[in-house]
Structure formats: C-alpha cells, structure tokens
C-alpha cells in the first residue's frame, strides 16, 4: 500500500521500542481493518507522519488528498515540545471537532500502544496510559460506535 510505504520511509530512522516504527503503524492499520473501517487504513498508516517526521502538510495533501490530511491533522499534536498532558488537552478538542473518524483513528492508535506495552511488559508505559485514561475517556468517549474498542482498551489497561 502506498501510504504504508510513504509512512515507513518518513519514519525510517525511528524505532517503536526495539522494532522499526512501521510495526506500530501496521498494528494501527490492522485495528482499523479488524473493526470494519478499511477506508481509514490510509490515515492509520499516516497518523504520526505530520507529528513525528519532516513531512509537511502540503506534501501529505499532494500525495493523499485533503480528506486524509485533515484527518491526520486532527490527531496530530500541534506542539510536540509541550508536556504530554498539555499536548493531549490541546489535541482532544481537535479530534472531537473532526468527528467520529478522528475518534476512531485515535482509539486505534491508543489501543495499539497500550496492547504493545502490555505484551512487552512495559510497566512504565502502562502506568502512563493508566494515568491518562480518565482524561482520554472523558474527552473522547461519547455516543460513538466504538464500544468494543473501548472495552478492549480498558481490559488491556487492567
């Protein structure tokens, strides 16, 4: 898939734990497919590109169009140098404003991160995600059709 290749190249120098970063992107894309949203696989592969690489918004829009770029922008932290809690506080309203697709994408990302941390026995990351969970859920849980994903996330955090 073109989005996977683009994102893998953009993240080529980065790691996800001790694995290539594309490992995380693959899992986010797999979750989108597993939960019946194959139309969001492209955005799943690209979801960290604007935040974590040198790729610009214009470059992404040229390659993947405005709809995908806007969705990726919605889940992108605007100031990666700000403390994590502040980044989340600023990003959650953007995700909500962008709608259900952005919430779904962020939930796929969080579920991928939490399940990877649990599988690897990374107690530090799990503790961080547990500490953030109430604010994450308060901000993004609503009348959206992702109850199964929320249940899996909460099970992985337990």
Active-site choice (5, 18, 39, 51): 51
Residue entry with tokens 């506080």: 89
* pLDDT (0 to 100) of residue 80: 80
* pLDDT (0 to 100) of residue 78: 87
The question of whether 51 is a catalytic residue gets the answer yes
Q: Tell me the pTM.
A: 0.94
Residue 122 has pLDDT above 80, yes or no: yes
The question of whether 138 is a catalytic residue gets the answer no
Answer yes or no: CATH 1.10.3210.10 is held by domain 2-157.
Answer: yes
SS3 37: coil
* pLDDT (0 to 100) of residue 32: 97
Which of 97, 12, 37 has its CA nearest to residue 25?
A: 12
Paired strand residues for 15: 20
Q: What is the mean pLDDT of the chain?
A: 94
- Return the structure tokens found at 137: 């859920």
* pLDDT (0 to 100) of residue 143: 61
Active-site choice (30, 34, 52, 100): 52
Residue 92: phi and psi, rounded to 5, are -55, -45
């Amino acid at each position: 898939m073109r989005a996977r290749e683009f994102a893998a190249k953009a993240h080529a120098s980065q790691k996800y734990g001790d694995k290539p970063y594309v490992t995380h992107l693959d899992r986010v894309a797999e979750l989108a497919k597993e939960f019946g949203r194959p139309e969001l696989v492209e955005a799943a592969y690209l979801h960290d590109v604007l935040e974590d690489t040198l790729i610009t918004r214009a470059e992404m829009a040229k390659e993947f169009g405005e709809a995908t770029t806007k969705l990726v922008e919605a889940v992108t932290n605007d100031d990666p140098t700000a403390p994590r809690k502040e980044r989340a506080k600023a990003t959650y309203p953007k995700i909500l404003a962008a709608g259900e697709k952005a919430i779904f994408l962020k939930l796929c990302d969080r579920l991928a991160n939490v399940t990877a941390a649990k599988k690897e026995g990374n107690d530090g990351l799990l503790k961080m995600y547990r500490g953030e969970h109430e604010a994450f859920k308060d901000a993004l849980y609503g009348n959206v059709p992702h109850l199964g994903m929320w249940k899996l996330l909460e099970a992985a955090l337990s």
